[in-house]
Amino acid sequence: MQTRTLGKSGLEVSALGLGCMTMSGGYSVSPDRREMVALIRSAAERGVTFFDTAQVYGPFTNEELVGEALAPVRDQVVIATKFGFEFGPHGENRGVNSRPEHIKQMVVGSLKRLRVEAIDLYYQHRVDPDVPIEEVAGAVKDLIQQGKVKHFGMSEAAAQTIRRAHAVQPVTAIQSEYSLWWRRPEEEVLATCAELGIGFVPYSPLGKGFLTGKIDETTTFDSGDLRSRIPRFTPEARKANQTLVDLLGSIAQRKHATPAQIALGWLLAQKPWIVPIPGTTKLHRLEENIGAATVELSNDDLRDIENAAAQITIQGERYPEELERRTNL
């Protein structure tokens, strides 16, 4: 697979990474662990070198999964994880906590679970409004100097917050939601990344599965599926938003590709320092996603997508209100 460099950092990764969150549940009951270990290893065998996890996924079990799966190829891959939440004695999420002493305490567990001596890319998962971002960046800078972390990242941060953090410790990558159906990063964040030399990592690049064309208004989600609580996934919103999937489908037919590959190809075409991290629990979907790296969209193709997308108004918020409050701080 082709590689890309995340901004000016020199951190080279595969053009498409693998988001591992759903391998520990989130969209459905937790998949079989042995199958997920095999899937992660299959991704590495197919040229994926960039793997994404977080302390909060599970919590902790996803880091353990990724650590086990990648131990045999540790020197060939880049592992990203995230800090910034506090957990109770039974793993319950108590909310954001990016106090420097907490960051330094939590990194110890991540290193052990991931089976690494240093974390390649350590993201603040969500901005903590109670802790100045300069203190967070300073704590990660200390961890970098101690050799426990190699690169600093931020997730769902606003442009001004990114600038303040970057002044203390250079930020290697910003991870935020970005796709044809969520384009807020285009307002300020992408320009900030370009100016400062920061890479951008879109999560949910396939709209939590919607842009694959495999979900419609008749699809049902079980109560444990995050999408059952998301306004954008109500049957009414899915029916209204089908127009966007139809657009991807028509272009895919023309390019002998799939809607998912067009959606990922569109992201790859935006900037050479953008690296999407689609997630999956199925080998055939992994192979489909990897295939997006070879889809070539011409300037005419991209113009057609832009013109058509501009005529479509996406219905529904991307998160329930309590989750959206944690973003863009």
Where is pLDDT greater, at 73 or 328?
73
Judge if the upstream peptide bond of residue 278 is cis by omega within 30 degrees of 0.
no
Q: Does the pLDDT value for residue 323 go beyond 90?
A: no
pLDDT band, very low/low/confident/very high, at 25 (cuts 50, 70, 90): confident
The pLDDT value given to residue 29: 75
pLDDT band, very low/low/confident/very high, at 277 (cuts 50, 70, 90): very high
Q: How far apart are CA 268 and CA 262, in angstroms?
A: 10
Determine contact, residues 217/296, Cβ cutoff 8 Å.
no
Say if pTM beats, i.e. exceeds, 0.75: yes
Q: How far apart are CA 80 and CA 11, in angstroms?
A: 12
Q: What is the pLDDT of residues 32-58, one digit of tens each?
A: 999 999 999 999 999 999 999 999 999
Q: Does the pLDDT value for residue 278 go beyond 80?
A: yes
Q: Please, what's the b/e burial string for 57-66 (b: 16 or more CB within 10 A of its CB; e: otherwise)?
A: bbbbbbbbbb
Q: Please, what's the b/e burial string for 241-274 (b: 16 or more CB within 10 A of its CB; e: otherwise)?
A: bbebbebbeebbeebebbbbbbbbbbbbbbeebb
The pLDDT value given to residue 15: 98
The pLDDT value given to residue 167: 98
Catalytic residue positions? 57
The pLDDT value given to residue 10: 96
The pLDDT value given to residue 223: 83
The pLDDT value given to residue 298: 94
279 bridge partner residues = 19
Dihedral angle of Cα 243, 248, 251, 255, to the nearest 10 degrees: -160
Q: Which domains are delineated in the chain?
A: 3-209+270-295 (3.20.20.100)
pLDDT band, very low/low/confident/very high, at 328 (cuts 50, 70, 90): confident
Q: What is the pLDDT of residues 63-104, one digit of tens each?
A: 999 999 999 999 999 999 999 999 999 899 999 999 999 999
- Mean residue pLDDT across the chain: 96
